[in-house]
Amino acid sequence: MAGFADEVAALRGTRSATLRDLLTHPPFSRLLAAMTVSSFGDWVGFVAVTALVARLGRTPGGAAFAVSGVMIARMLPAILFGPFAGAIVDRLDRKQVMIVADVARAAMYSSMPFLGELWAIYLLSFAIECLSLLWTPARDASLPRLVPRRQLANANSIGLITAYGTLPFGGAAFAALAGVAEGLSARVPYLGARPEALALWADAGTFLFSAVMLTGVPIRTPAARRAARVDLTLIGRDIVEGLRFLREHPLARAMTTGIVVAFSAVGAVLALGPVFATQTLGAGSAGWGVLVTAFGVGMGVGMAAVSRAARAAEIDHVFSWSLLAAAATLFVLASMPNLSLASVLAVVLGFFCGATWVSGYVLLQENVPDEYRGRTFGSLTVLGRLGLFVSLVAFPALAAIYGDHEAYVGGQRLDLSGTRLALATVGLGVIAAGILTRLGLRRHRLSKPVPLTLVPRLRRPPAAGLFVVFEGVEGSGKGTQIERAAAFLRERGYDVLVTREPGGTEVGEALRELLLSVDTGRLEPRAEALLFAAARAQHVATVIRPALAEGKVVLCDRYVDSSLAYQGWGRGLGEQDVLTLNVWATQGLFPDLVILLHLEPEEGLRRIGRAPDRIEAEGPGFLDKVSDAYLRIAEEHPERFVVVDAGRPEEEVAAAVREALLRLLKEREENHPEGAG
């Protein structure tokens, strides 16, 4: 997958995606700022709320009960409402959901210092977690529409690192703010009585910051969902459909199982770790801190390593082998005799857990259709938290049931404490789940058609001329703008050839009539893709390549990207197979520039002053997919795409097209001065 994407990017003249590209990509950088600051605030708030309820609990026993109560209040929403949250997210504007959730959480956290009753704090904690249930799947479902597909692994790695990597900083910030509150208590007695107040208000500020940053993130809502309304009967249907999708989709089922098991394993480590460090290893409370730090370091490295690993292996292999390796590491960790060796294994365990989470999220985002994505991540949130909750309760009980034992083998004493046995049990359980997950992924692979293989060692062919393609949905004004662009170039002394697809040759025009005539009726999508590719192969070989060799500027109405949008995304054939077919048909010829005239499909259909052809007659739903696909493709290859708002007046569109052409001509003159003019 990675090699294919890199080779096609090279053919297009697009440089490979890098982590720096992602971090400087304005939409993602704003989302990252929102995620980082709000995650930091979340951990500050978590520590502050537990400190607040512990103080209100008064006695040691009451404090323990109070902290348990707030943990239950935070867990319950995911168990009770998780599936509803995902279904709601799928029917609303995801950006608005995230902003409203941030503002509401800010208001709730800022009010907590004024509350003196545990039940009120439990209620607010419950409500805050309900809002978090909406925010998280909305973000996860939006990410594939916000960053290029090649950057999903990097984006998920960074997202999870910000979510969990800010934990130690949150604890330190709470300690600092509590110290400031104590220092100000003489002047402000209110802070002396409520040392958590500053931390809670700071937490509220981080959510407000997140909301402000999100206002500038262009999270597009698919047109097909814009008219949707929140209807309880429809939401119920969505939940049933989502559960059916998880049950019937081998990859989604396997991935969900694997990720939930990984969460459960982490829950078991968190539940058993303190006893394992302090009593089994005799390392005290500081030893537990060392193990947590080691696990966190390994997890961060593992999350960051997924993108590089995906270049050497398929992402589903990265996921399944990481899960199995984590299980084996956990099994070995249980037998470690001292803190030093246990810390090394904790780093390794964290590495494979981090890799499992990131690769699992990437696989789900790449393979789950957009209409199911919100409820899929909602279900994942529910099941993950449920697994975490069960682990926190079940494995300490299992350790107690096992009890502490010892055995002698060859005169050597073996410590078989209940904690070690429980950790080993977790490892065995994860190994079993990992094997089942791998079998599920294998079934998914077998159920998919074998992808085409890219023609080896293709290189972008040299050309004396320039190749410019105009793309867009029906009614976007491609024909008009091509005529104006041709006149503009001819005035500047360029030899211009105007052509179109399908068409441009006798064979192409005959295939055009067949493909667009409503009398043709329904075509099998693969047959349709092959016919477009056949027309394109003839067109490139007999018209476009000869014209480029003569130094002409070729302006073409549609080309390869139309097949990617219409057949790859609209018909659901998949981008890779359609792209590979067309790379073979054109022998690697990609345009120097693609001008995408972006227009909402509804407006385009209104502009057409004739009866719709066979493709146009597919209706708004199909064309919405095509329009969204065009934007995704353009975002993947920004160096070779110019997106122009075709809803503007014709003269403004023409001016934008001329500006794009002038930039291309200037670039060509600078790089190839002998071929200018």
CATH of the domain at 525: 3.40.50.300
What pLDDT is stored for residue 339 in this prediction? 85
Q: Is 6 inside any structural domain?
A: no
* 574 has pLDDT over 90: no
Residues 444, 472 within the same domain = no
| Residue 208: per-residue pLDDT | 95
- 50 and 158 share one domain: yes
- Using alpha carbons, select from 138, 369, 155 the residue that is nearest to residue 249: 369
Does 223 score more than 90 pLDDT?
Answer: no
Please tell me the predicted confidence (pLDDT) of residue 224.
45
Q: 477, 597 in Cβ contact below 8 A?
A: yes
Q: Is 149 in contact with 118 (CB distance < 8 Å)?
A: no
At residue 642, what are phi and psi to the nearest 5 degrees? -125, 120
Q: % helix / strand / coil in the chain, to the nearest 5?
A: 75, 5, 20
For the cut 70, the answer to whether the pLDDT of residue 375 exceeds it is no
Q: What is the total count of domains within the chain?
A: 3
Asked if 647 and 621 sit in the same domain, the reply is yes
Do 400 and 478 share a domain, yes or no?
A: no
Label residue 106 by pLDDT band (50, 70, 90).
very high
Cα–Cα distance, 57 to 41 (Å, whole number): 24
pLDDT over 80 at 584, yes or no: yes
Is 300 a residue whose pLDDT tops 50? yes
- 110-161: per-residue pLDDT in tens? 999 898 888 899 999 999 988 988 888 888 778 777 777 667 667 776 776 7
Phi/psi at 643 (5° precision) = -100, 125
- Taking 80 as the threshold, does the pLDDT of residue 229 lie above it? no
Could you tell me which residue, 670 or 264, shows the higher pLDDT?
264
Whether 185 is covered by a domain: the verdict is: yes
Pair (440, 579) in one structural domain: no
**Res 671: pLDDT:** 66
Q: Who has greater pLDDT, 347 or 463?
A: 347
CA atoms within 13 A on the CB side of 199: 29
Do both 434 and 392 map to the same domain? yes
Residues 6+ apart with CB under 8 A from 187: none
% the chain with pLDDT above 90: 22
> Does residue 406 sit in helix, strand or coil?
strand
In this structure, the answer to whether residues 435 and 483 fall within a common structural domain is: no
Higher pLDDT, 445 or 449: 445
Taking only Cα atoms into account, the Rg of the chain, rounded to an integer number of angstroms, comes to 29
Q: Is the pLDDT of residue 644 over 80?
A: yes
The domain boundary residue, chosen from 205, 220, 235: 220
**11 inside domain:** no
Q: Which residue has the tokens 């081998």?
A: 250
Tell me the mean pLDDT in the region 23-38.
Answer: 84
Q: Are residues 295 and 158 in the same domain?
A: no
Listing DSSP states for 450-507 in one string gives PPPPPPTT--PPP-SSEEEEEE-STTS-HHHHHHHHHHHHHHTT--EEEEESS-SSHH
Would you state the pLDDT for residue 528? 94
Instruction: Tell me: do 311 and 198 sit in the same domain.
Output: no
Name the residue range of residue 369's domain. Answer: 247-448
* Same domain (yes/no): 430, 506: no
Instruction: Please report whether residue 8 resides in a domain.
Output: no
Residue 374 confidence class, pLDDT cut points 50, 70, 90? low
CA neighbor of 497 nearest in space, from 460, 468, 538, 477: 468
Q: Report pLDDT for 92.
A: 79
From 448, 483, 498, the end of a domain falls on 448
CATH of residue 270's domain is 1.20.1250.20
Q: State whether 513 and 578 are in the same domain.
A: yes
Same-domain check for residues 440 and 538:
no
In a domain, 228, yes or no: no
235 has a pLDDT exceeding 60: no
Whether residue 498 has pLDDT greater than 70 = yes
Give the DSSP H/E element, type plus range, for residue 644: strand 641-645
- Is residue 502 reached through a cis peptide bond, with omega within 30 degrees of 0 on the bond before it? yes
Does any domain span residue 227? no
Does 242 fall in a domain? no
Which of the given ranges, 10-14, 269-273, 315-319, 464-468, has the highest pLDDT on average?
Answer: 464-468
Domain contains 460: no
Pair of tokens at residue 618: 């597919």
Determine if the pTM surpasses 0.75. no
Q: Hey, how many other C-beta atoms are within 10 angstroms of the C-beta on 287?
A: 22
Query: Torsion over CA of 36, 38, 43 and 44, rounded to 10 degrees?
Result: 120
Could you tell me which of 298, 269, 302, 274 has the C-alpha nearest to residue 286? 274
